[in-house]
Amino acid sequence: MQQQTPNSISIEHTTAQGYRNLNRFSVAPMLDWTDRHCRYFHRLLSKNTLLYTEMVTTGAIIYGKGDYLAFSEQEQPVALQLGGSDPIALAQCAKLAEQRGYNEINLNVGCPSDRVQNGRFGACLMADAQLVADCIKAMQDVVSIPVTVKTRIGIDEQDSYQFLCDFIDTVSIKGGCEMFIIHARKAWLSGLSPKENREIPPLDYPRVYQLKRDFPHLTMAINGGIKTLEEAQEHLQYLDGVMVGREAYQNPSILTAVDNQLFDNQLPVVDAVEAVRQMFPYIEKELSQGAYLGHITRHMLGIFQGIPGARQWRRYLSENAHKKGADLAVVEHALALVTRGE
């Protein structure tokens, strides 16, 4: 069966419009979630959605034993999110990523975890806008693809609108960054877990809207708490793009209507059952190369949310996909529970 590949979005980055088209809708980088199996499945649900890798540290890429840049061509368009604060190392990794075919390099300036802070990257970098600018410029100097920043609206007590504007001003002017993804919450660098930092600090969408008005020449996307395409359409009245995180992972059926509702109403809404069937050749190939079925199907559990048989689908896969020797027959049986509506 021929693989489904992106065909309706221009991956051209030489203009601001190119940025806006590519970043109009994206799935957020999520550690331990948006791996290559997840991205392959999400691509079958939407041709136009920009997909992000999990955050990968420069140390892992440069010194790690595995191939941390691996992805399949069928996932395109794909952006790599990097974690790091050494301009030289980031430039080295950005160059490698461009050579491998990534469409964008994104610097993580938003993750608040202790482990990330100890490595001096993530949200703590908001306190050093000049360093972020140096990092962005170092990458911009060696690649021709976009280099972008994903950040918060503030950290700890540094959460004034002026602080945010100063950060954007420095990174855009001195670093040459033209594209920012703004998580519309501030981050507490101590006292809250990463999970709590995604839920407790209040969302402030109007602040992000104002930021776009004050920096109209920059491309800006919004992230945080977005659960429906109707909400995405509302945000797109004020901003260039929308990034959805956990909702797209836990309820991936939201992606089936993205192409139709946000890009071209002539494009079809993807049938979720057919998308699962289109995963079969991929699953067989990956299993033949030593992958475990559960590592693939864990990303597919939520696809039938709200459909008769969805609970049986989740239960059967959860109970059987991790068993020794589990193969495609497990997925076929689980899918039959949905199509029969049991």
Q: In this structure, what CATH number is given to the domain that contains residue 178?
A: 3.20.20.70
pLDDT in tens, 139-186: 999 999 999 999 999 999 999 999 999 999 999 999 999 999 999 999
This prediction's pTM: 0.91
Alpha helices in the chain (DSSP H): 16-22, 36-45, 58-63, 87-100, 114-118, 129-140, 161-173, 194-197, 205-214, 229-235, 246-250, 258, 272-278, 280-288, 293-297, 310-320, 328-339
User: Per the domain annotation, does 10 fall within a domain?
Assistant: no
Q: What confidence score (pLDDT) does residue 4 get? A: 37
User: Per the domain annotation, does 56 fall within a domain?
Assistant: yes
Same-domain check for residues 172 and 290:
no
Same-domain check for residues 237 and 327:
no
Q: Is 29 annotated as a binding residue?
A: yes
Range of the domain at 48: 15-261
Q: Is 130 annotated as a binding residue?
A: no
User: Per the domain annotation, does 340 fall within a domain?
Assistant: no
Q: What confidence score (pLDDT) does residue 233 get? A: 98
Of the three residues 261, 288, 314, the one that is the final residue of a domain is: 261
Residues in the chain: 342
Q: What confidence score (pLDDT) does residue 20 get? A: 53
User: Per the domain annotation, does 230 fall within a domain?
Assistant: yes
- Report how far apart the first and last C-alpha atoms of the chain are (Å, whole number): 29
Q: Is 183 annotated as a binding residue?
A: yes
Contacts of 82 (CB under 8 A, 6+ apart): 55, 56, 57, 58, 90, 93, 94, 97, 105, 106, 107, 108
Q: How far apart are CA 296 and CA 328, in angstroms?
A: 11
Same-domain check for residues 229 and 124:
yes
**Both tokens assigned to 49:** 């959605």
Q: What confidence score (pLDDT) does residue 117 get? A: 63
Q: What confidence score (pLDDT) does residue 189 get? A: 87
Q: What confidence score (pLDDT) does residue 195 get? A: 82
| Strand pairing category for 147-151 and 179-183 | parallel
Cβ atoms of 222 and 182 closer than 8 Å: yes
pLDDT in tens, 188-227: 888 888 888 888 889 999 999 999 999 999 999 999 999 9
User: Per the domain annotation, does 8 fall within a domain?
Assistant: no
Contacts of 280 (CB under 8 A, 6+ apart): 1, 328, 331, 332
Same-domain check for residues 215 and 292:
no
| Residues of the chain scoring pLDDT < 50 | 1-16, 342
Residues annotated as part of the active site: 111
Same-domain check for residues 168 and 278:
no
Q: How far apart are CA 92 and CA 115, in angstroms?
A: 23
Of the three residues 237, 261, 285, the one that is the final residue of a domain is: 261
Q: Is 122 annotated as a binding residue?
A: no
Q: What confidence score (pLDDT) does residue 11 get? A: 39
CATH number at residue 279: 1.20.120.1460
CB atoms near residue 160 (< 10 Å)? 11
User: Per the domain annotation, does 107 fall within a domain?
Assistant: yes
For the chain, the domain total comes to: 2
User: Per the domain annotation, does 79 fall within a domain?
Assistant: yes
Cβ atoms of 199 and 167 closer than 8 Å: no
